Structure 1
């Protein structure tokens, strides 16, 4: 083989090695949420790339086989070709014949190794990581073609590798996981805010939503002793007097002193003057949904939405009424402070 042919093959092998490295890192790093919309929009390359991402084990086997073949070929073809080229100038400057080939081969080996590491590994890896989705769509279909041609061999190699993994009690994965835990998403949100991609208010909303599931009604319950209530027999006129303090919804007690429901002051303002001094009509008393103290806030929100109630009766472990929870307080745990006419029933 001539030295020129060896040099041309060196460039080809470095390019092939770079392709396999770039395709491998691109498919591993690409986010499905970015590639999938392109596939739905009709992109053939994106559809093929999605298939590759769903069969990543076989794709990685193909990429690794390609990298291995290119590396071995570089050692077999490129190093001797470059060494032969170096022997001519070394002989001209008087390098002893006994040292001529060893010195030329050592330098050729170092040069090929450098080119392989830099141009065959590091450069394509960094390019792929800089834009994984774009590179995956470009390189993925080509790698799929290579894997299709070599499938029988890759099936054997991949099967052996998966068997070894199972012996080590490691379950092989065919698809790259693209899901995150709640803590990981929270860390991403914080990093995005620190990087200037999110406003502080947006960060607070997102973090509030992420931690909403972890919090219970116990953190927002208002003890009954701190709630302004209307005793049994309260008239609309008396309720309006109490409402002058700025609140619009009040729990109503039954004859036993237990919360029986709640009234909205707007329902009383529309009453005829003849009934303003009579006890509040039971039909105007709205139902208080019962919510356990340790119930998650998400469940409490769903219960209040289903019943259409803005207040809920919080029950302790023994089923006794312990306090009141407001829809506003539950929502504040999710979106931050809210101000309206029913804000906090604490008066006493």
Structure 2
């Protein structure tokens, strides 16, 4: 009986293991690399390992398939006999013959194990990875990557065999995940749809989007010398005067050395009391600036700014020197054209 209960615990462990490999496999092929790369560039170790996994997709998929196969075989060899053994006493008490007990126990065991294996070990993890692919990838792929390193010799041998079979049929295996259209493919689709009258781009927004994907931060950032900024000791009244003169709504702040340390938004000033208008801005009102390299793609910079809710970002070059400021409005104008609102910068 003890061995039978041990078999049930083994079943639970193997079921979870099967679910892990299935979830990791679908997360690897479903996650968008562009959503994970900003985190990797920001220093996130799980994101960096996930990117490495996406660059070795053939190795990791083979590892996942090996894991699923091993878990499934162990369930068949170890767990099914344990459940069968637990059911036998109950069925014998019903008066069935030994042959009848063996048949019924086998049928119940097969149905129960198959049901749990398909639902818990396959469908649930697959649907989770499809629903939240990036989050699932950040959790599961780094672990799968570590396991792939451990069993790499075995997987390489299996992969070589599989690739050899593919070559017989003239198919070339890919080693990097690709779950999106290329830019040229999308442009062709839009061009064809516009020509057929299915899609209208009278405002040029779609065309701007294609150009947007090719631009770098340096193409849009404002030089430090051209930015209207204030020292961190600026008062709310000085901000109000600046707004009335130049119409900007956001102002970078600098420390004693002239380094950018944060920024203020007009609404940070509006709710202050009158007796605070001539005092330096409270530290808690100063908003933090994120830093982005001038070589970063503009769409990745936008994703980084949206993730933290920042409207401004300091821009630095390869040498680490701050060269400018990136404004959210300027990024949006690259997509939709000139932004006409009260906070527009000249």
Q: Normalization by structure 2: what TM-score?
A: 0.55
**8 A Cα contact 2:30 2:179, kept in partner:** no
Q: How does 1:149-168 map to 2 (within 5 A)?
A: 149-168=150-169
Q: Indicate whether 1:131 and 2:132 are aligned.
A: yes
> In the aligned structure 1, how far is the partner of 2:164 from the partner of 2:154?
16
Q: Indicate whether 1:67 and 2:72 are aligned.
A: no
> In the aligned structure 2, how far is the partner of 1:203 from the partner of 1:41?
38
Q: What is the match of residue 15 of structure 1?
A: 16
Gaps of 5+ in 1: 189-199, 213-333, 337-348
**8 A Cα contact 1:27 1:53, kept in partner:** yes
> In the aligned structure 1, how far is the partner of 2:102 from the partner of 2:172?
49
> In the aligned structure 2, how far is the partner of 1:69 from the partner of 1:184?
41
How many residue pairs match? The answer is 204
**8 A Cα contact 1:208 1:335, kept in partner:** no
Q: How does 1:1-348 map to 2 (within 5 A)?
A: 2-181=3-182, 184=186, 205-208=204-207
**What is the alpha-carbon root mean square deviation over aligned residues?**
2.8
Q: Report the CA distance shift for 1:118/1:38 in structure 2 as closer, same or farther (over 3 A).
A: same
> In the aligned structure 2, how far is the partner of 1:47 from the partner of 1:41?
9
> In the aligned structure 1, how far is the partner of 2:86 from the partner of 2:105?
8
> In the aligned structure 2, how far is the partner of 1:157 from the partner of 1:146?
15
CA shift, 1:203, in A, is 9.8
Q: Report the CA distance shift for 1:164/1:144 in structure 2 as closer, same or farther (over 3 A).
A: same
CA shift, 1:209, in A, is 5.0
CA shift, 1:206, in A, is 4.0
> In the aligned structure 2, how far is the partner of 1:22 from the partner of 1:77?
23
1:170-201: per-residue Cα shift (whole Å, max 9, x none)?
A: 1110001144145657979xxxxxxxxxxx99
Gaps of 5+ in 2: 191-198, 212-334, 338-346
CA shift, 1:210, in A, is 7.5
